[in-house]
Structure 1
Amino acid sequence: MTKPNTIDASITPIGSLEVLSQFEVSKLKQAGENGLYELFRRCVLAILNTGSDSDNAKTILQNYPDFRIDIVQQDRGIRLNLYNAPADAFVDGAMITSTREMVFAALRDIVWTESERKNDLSEQASGSAITDYVFHFLRNAKMLLPGQQPNLVVCWGGHSINEVEYEYTKEVGHELGLRRLDICTGCGPGAMKGPMKGATISHAKQRILNARYIGLTEPAIITAEAPNPIVNDLAILPDIEKRLEAFVRLGHGIIIFPGGPGTAEELLYILGILLHPDNKEIPFPLILTGPKEAADYFKQLHEFIAQTLGYQAQQKYKIIVDDPIAAAREMTTGMQLVTDYRRKAADAYHFNWKLHIDPIFQEPFHATHDNMAKLNLHKNAPVHLLAADLRRAFSGIVAGNVKEQGINLIEEKGPFEIHGDPEILQPLDNLLEAFVAQKRMKLPGSAYVPCYKVIA
């Protein structure tokens, strides 16, 4: 294998952490040296690999074993010295501006925020404590803009989609941008990049100079799926559950494009929340859309929801096939309902405080063989709790597909086993087999080897 080109460089903050006291710099340096360095190194390496055609965290780390970072304290603030960094992140020796911004966003989130808040939140915390944590995290990242009317559309979808589906996400993003809506995604490639790319053109047409392209991720995901360069606001949440809560607290509506297990996880997460009785009256536009070639995909996903969560869950979303304008108009109409409700309820525009999130959706789920085997996938479970455990099943599959820890567990112990009622597991198995057949599990390349077994 050809050794990748590398470069040594020294960079100072841009976008985050530009103005710091000597005491703050000292704390940052100390935190980076006391246990968080390796996590920071991995996230920065992923950011420097923006545009990579790999979705395997282990492979990216193995390609740059000698990459390291020195956090340097100086009177003017902080400096990062990078050694053996991927050369593609630089132009004539200077780091690309968007990449530099994201590097310091990673420093802010992983080192600064974690060192500031680690004593305020235990692993077992849930409910209002988690929501408060997410609020402070987003506020520290300067993502909360009080006074601005609801206009942020969260776009979910697969990182491994075909060219037709990718072009469709760009068309939808273009129509959203023409209606002056901003975009928030998981920040990676595929359906996370397309809407942002489409919106950049329409925002330029509308002469919108302060458009937001927000990327929300977490350490295990960003190391496998490098952020796309359009992102101008990046936040790296501590785990997938806080990342998902950040999406629904920050966003005002959601569009879901075709995808694989990660997209199914996201759909089940928002459905489980919207199905909770306390959220019955809260408007939250949810649209599933894709090109005509994806019609069968949405049909199968719709049937899966019917067979597992039932008719009530199907009423929480609309499916719009091959019509970007209709999807954007539907979202615009939904945004107005959100605005009217929040004004009437005296709820904040910038953070969805009134949405109730059951603790089962907030508790971190660690994808181990034991935890995957214990999932409560039974027909007699309350519908929102069944949605929670189905979400966890897909989360585990994502971990086994692309996250380093999950990949290592599969290599050591074999596939995860998923148990439950046949009435739940058969539709689940059918959907997963369709994802494999449609190459939605990982980026194109070698043949997919399942990291799971569905056992009725």
Structure 2
Amino acid sequence: MMSHIDIEITAESGLELLTNDEISRLSEHSKGGEYELFKKCVLAVLTSTQVTDEISYHEEQLKLFDIEVLQLNKGVKLKLKNAPATSLVDGKMIQGLKEQVFSVLRDIVFLKQELESNSRIDFNSSNGCTNAIFHILRNAKALRPGCDPNMVVCWGGHAIPEFEYQYTKEVGYRLGLRGLDIITGCGIGAMKGPMKGALIGHSKQRISNGRYIGLTEPGIIAAESPNPIVNELIIMPDIEKRLEAFVRLGHSFVVFPGGVGTAEEILYILGILLHPKNKDTPFPLIFTGPKESASYFERIDQFIADTLGPEAQQKYQIIIDDPVAVAKATLQGVVDVREYRKQTHDAYHFNWQLHIQWDFQEEFIPTHDNMAKLNLKADQPLHLLAANLRKAFSGIVSGNVKEAGIKEVAKHGPYTISGDVKIMNQLDALLEAFVSQKRMKLNADNYVPCYRVIKPQNKPQPATV
């Protein structure tokens, strides 16, 4: 049984520099509709040492946990009731967790005030979404003008075997030796490994200001709590804004083995790169894993070939069991991006030129009706097919580990997914591979699919006379 403790902590993440009026409004907002969300996200940070993606665990802890925002003339203080004792050492909260707690306050409560009071922020248009994402990242001090590009986005699963985790750590180490910083989804597995490896690489190179950025969103933070190496935690409003933040911030991208969440990320970026307006934009994208995982990328590559075709396959390279080659290719990609942005006068710290359509920005809410209505037919532009396939995987992620999706599936049964027979056959085969390889959830032995792939029957051909 986890022990708990009451504690008060003072502000970090810039919230110590607020006016009395801002603190008053902050306290008022923390008692409103965002309060439960705020509590859930803070608790997820404080229980990050508990390796689980079961929502029921966090729900039980939430019944005991409470937060009060205290007003002080010198800043903000949080009073935590029944905080997990594992978040403290000798009666003091671990500094990294303390910083992450105030990052939650900044992004969930304070930023909501800022966005509501800023009439120029518009989440209902494509340009508005990109501007809002810029505002969120700037408010989190994630944008650093004048710095050379060096941000590597690492995607991959949280439910991976030990040998894959060790490989991600070795790749991160090779990236860190080359002075590259890391952005991940902030959780465990293929998100923690690259950061841990890079931390060691930075230490050897005497780099003391390494950046380990964790991008998450409220629906998934409980299932993928921030790992302790994250020193810049940013909570985006939803999964679509989170994905756009990745591609706007990153300079080179490395994808490790994962499950449906990783497939969602792959389809998201391929859909963007397949748009004609992005045809000539350099975007380094590498798939990699140990030799034992070669079949994983063979399956992913085959799925992309049979759904999006050879044009999509040309957008990435696959490097198996060679961390040094991955690091060198990643660094070369960063150099190419730097030269391109220098020539086109684009910012190093935020990729303004990349064209992202509304289909990739609008929040997709995976209800049964929305999942059933997805257009998964081949007779549409490739970037739109990729967008819709991305939404299908997003729905499965929600049904696996997000509170809203789990409740939706419990109430109405599995999501149904339908489309062209060839696409459905490939989708079903890929999902079956994820299940057999235990990549759906951490508790994979008891996994019950939250989806059902509907395969249309081939219509009989009329007899010829």
With the length of structure 1 as denominator, give the TM-score of the two structures.
0.98
Q: Where does residue 216 of structure 1 map in the other structure? A: 215
- Provide the secondary structure at the position in 1 that maps to 2:425: helix
Q: Where does residue 442 of structure 1 map in the other structure? A: 441
How far the C-alpha of 1:36 sits from its partner, in A, is 1.1
- Provide the secondary structure at the position in 1 that maps to 2:399: helix
CA distance change for structure 1 residues 174 and 108 in 2, over 3 Å: closer, same or farther?
same
* 1:384 and 2:387 are equivalent in the alignment: no
Deviations 1:74-110 (Å, cap 9, x if unpaired)?
1111110000111111112111000000000000000
Q: Where does residue 316 of structure 1 map in the other structure? A: 315
Query: Which residue identity does 1:77 align to in structure 2?
Result: G
Query: Which residue identity does 1:295 align to in structure 2?
Result: A
Q: Where does residue 180 of structure 2 map in the other structure? A: 181
The answer to whether the Cα contact below 8 Å between 2:122 and 2:128 also exists between their aligned partners in 1 is no
Share of identical aligned residues, percent?
Answer: 59
Gaps of 5+ in 2: 456-465
Deviations 1:153-178 (Å, cap 9, x if unpaired)?
00000000000000000000000001
Task: State how many pairs are aligned.
Answer: 454
Deviations 1:214-259 (Å, cap 9, x if unpaired)?
0000001102211100000010000000000000000111100000
How far the C-alpha of 1:64 sits from its partner, in A, is 3.7
Query: Which residue identity does 1:82 align to in structure 2?
Result: L
Query: Which residue identity does 2:440 align to in structure 1?
Result: M
How far the C-alpha of 1:63 sits from its partner, in A, is 3.0
CA distance in 1, matches of 2:384, 2:236: 24
The answer to whether the Cα contact below 8 Å between 1:16 and 1:101 also exists between their aligned partners in 2 is no
The answer to whether the Cα contact below 8 Å between 1:72 and 1:80 also exists between their aligned partners in 2 is yes
Q: Where does residue 126 of structure 2 map in the other structure? A: 127
Query: Which residue identity does 1:371 align to in structure 2?
Result: N
CA distance in 1, matches of 2:52, 2:315: 35
What does residue range 136-285 of structure 1 map to in structure 2 within 5 Å?
Answer: 136-285=135-284
Q: Where does residue 47 of structure 2 map in the other structure? A: 49
Query: Which residue identity does 2:157 align to in structure 1?
Result: G
The answer to whether the Cα contact below 8 Å between 1:56 and 1:404 also exists between their aligned partners in 2 is no
* 1:37 and 2:30 are equivalent in the alignment: no
Q: Where does residue 345 of structure 1 map in the other structure? A: 344
Query: Which residue identity does 1:203 align to in structure 2?
Result: H
Q: Where does residue 426 of structure 1 map in the other structure? A: 425
Cα-Cα RMSD: 1.2
Deviations 1:295-318 (Å, cap 9, x if unpaired)?
000000000000000000000000
How far the C-alpha of 1:381 sits from its partner, in A, is 1.3
CA distance in 2, matches of 1:166, 1:273: 28
The answer to whether the Cα contact below 8 Å between 1:98 and 1:232 also exists between their aligned partners in 2 is yes
Query: Which residue identity does 2:154 align to in structure 1?
Result: C
What does residue range 90-109 of structure 1 map to in structure 2 within 5 Å?
Answer: 90-109=88-107
Query: Which residue identity does 2:216 align to in structure 1?
Result: T
CA distance in 2, matches of 1:107, 1:263: 28
CA distance in 1, matches of 2:177, 2:23: 42
How far the C-alpha of 1:69 sits from its partner, in A, is 0.2
CA distance in 2, matches of 1:272, 1:126: 19
- Provide the secondary structure at the position in 2 that maps to 1:222: coil
- Provide the secondary structure at the position in 2 that maps to 1:385: helix
Q: Where does residue 293 of structure 1 map in the other structure? A: 292
Deviations 1:116-152 (Å, cap 9, x if unpaired)?
1136488861311000000000000000000111100
Q: Where does residue 20 of structure 2 map in the other structure? A: 22
CA distance in 1, matches of 2:40, 2:424: 36
Deviations 1:422-443 (Å, cap 9, x if unpaired)?
1111100000000000000001
- Provide the secondary structure at the position in 1 that maps to 2:28: helix
Deviations 1:373-396 (Å, cap 9, x if unpaired)?
000000111100000000000000
Deviates more, 1:62-71 or 1:355-364: 62-71
The answer to whether the Cα contact below 8 Å between 1:377 and 1:421 also exists between their aligned partners in 2 is yes
How far the C-alpha of 1:15 sits from its partner, in A, is 3.3
Query: Which residue identity does 2:433 align to in structure 1?
Result: A
The answer to whether the Cα contact below 8 Å between 2:121 and 2:131 also exists between their aligned partners in 1 is no
How far the C-alpha of 1:14 sits from its partner, in A, is 2.3
Deviates more, 1:118-127 or 1:317-326: 118-127
CA distance in 1, matches of 2:319, 2:125: 35
How far the C-alpha of 1:363 sits from its partner, in A, is 0.4
CA distance in 2, matches of 1:16, 1:104: 9
The answer to whether the Cα contact below 8 Å between 2:438 and 2:444 also exists between their aligned partners in 1 is no
How far the C-alpha of 1:446 sits from its partner, in A, is 4.2
1:70 to 58, 68, 71: 68
The answer to whether the Cα contact below 8 Å between 1:4 and 1:63 also exists between their aligned partners in 2 is no
- Provide the secondary structure at the position in 2 that maps to 1:372: helix
The answer to whether the Cα contact below 8 Å between 2:268 and 2:386 also exists between their aligned partners in 1 is yes
